[in-house]
Copies of this chain bind each other. A is one copy, B any other.
Amino acid sequence: MTVATSPPPAIILIRPQLGANIGACARAMLNFGLTDLRLVSPRDGWPNPDAGPSASGADDVLANAQLFDSVAGAVADLHFVYATTFRSRALTRPVVTPPQAAAEIRARPLPSGLMFGPERSGLETDDLAVAHAVLTVPVNPDFGSLNLGQAVLLASYEWFKAGDDTPAAVFANYAGPAAHADLERLIVAVEAELETAEYFKRGVAATNARRTLRNLLTRPAFSDEEVRTLRGVFRTLAQGRRKRGDAVD
């Protein structure tokens, strides 16, 4: 369920180390419509000139980033906080997948936030205390090192997707199947040419060959244009055969 007024979540980076990673997070956020970036005690201070290039144009997200010196301060206005971790912790909290977190955030009228720890070490136990739930991305258990930008990307992507109504599959540039009568004329014409060329054997074999031909021309659901193209192709091939003089008619 999506609440019409559900606010987009804040992304809170706790003691991030590299400016380039902060920039990559800003880019990943804006790719999926998030703009509320909060930084708690970034190692190299703020602003950081290394952030701009990797933000690749998400400059407004960086310019509007808020700086805090405590985790509690950064989440003060938030009503539900997720802590992203990749290790299990001795914490009595629900552990949710990214799509589950996204669905919860979309169903909540009050503002939520997603916390991410420093690149090397992840969130400390004390950072986790303010969180209401733990967000863990399922990964290859033998190679689970997601970087900070990737973790923010996946969380942002799932949030966007949870509010996106793109159909799972659409058929681009395809007018839909031709009317049956037009396909039938194609099949009849091809069969007539093949008959002339003595393609069909006698008896059951001929019946099966006709059925196979009909099925392979029907299954793709050719459009009007494709049916017309195929008629032209078959006609041209048949004329070529006749011109070469090997026609029997």
Q: Which residues of B contact A27 (CB under 8 A)?
A: 145
- Interface stretch of the complex, out of A67-75, A152-160, A189-197, A209-217: A152-160
Interface of A is mostly: loop
For A138-164 the 0/1 string (1 means CB < 8 A from B) is: 111001111100100110010011001
- Give Cα distance in the complex from A93 to B62, angstroms: 39
Q: Which residues of B contact A111 (CB under 8 A)?
A: none
This protein's copies in its complex: 2
Contacts of A166 in B (CB 8 A): 97, 136, 138
Q: Is the CB of B171 within 8 A of A92?
A: yes
Q: Does A30 contact B (CB under 8 A)?
A: yes
A145 touches B31 (CB 8 A): yes
Is the C-beta of A53 less than 8 angstroms from some C-beta in chain B?
A: no
Mask, A66-90, CB within 8 Å of B = 1, is 0000000000000000000000111
The CA of A90 and the CA of B147, in the complex, are separated in Å by 36
Interchain CB contact under 8 A, A56 and B173:
no
Task: Report the minimal beta-carbon distance from A39 to chain B, rounded to whole angstroms.
Answer: 20
Residues of B within 8 A of A171 (CB): 92-95
Q: Is A233 an interface residue (CB 8 A)?
A: no
- The residues of B that contact A179 with a CB separation of less than 8 Å are none
In the complex, the answer to whether B31 meets A97 with C-beta atoms within 8 Å is no
Contact with B along A86-130 (1 / 0, CB 8 A): 001111111111011000000000000000000000000000000
Taking CB atoms and an 8 Å cut-off, the chain A residues in 164-189 that contact chain B are 164, 166-174
Name 22 A/B residue pairs within 8 A (Cβ), A-sorted. Answer: A30-B143, A31-B139, A31-B144, A33-B140, A56-B147, A57-B145, A91-B173, A92-B223, A93-B172, A93-B173, A94-B172, A95-B169, A96-B168, A97-B166, A97-B168, A97-B169, A99-B161, A99-B168, A100-B169, A140-B160, A150-B150, A154-B154
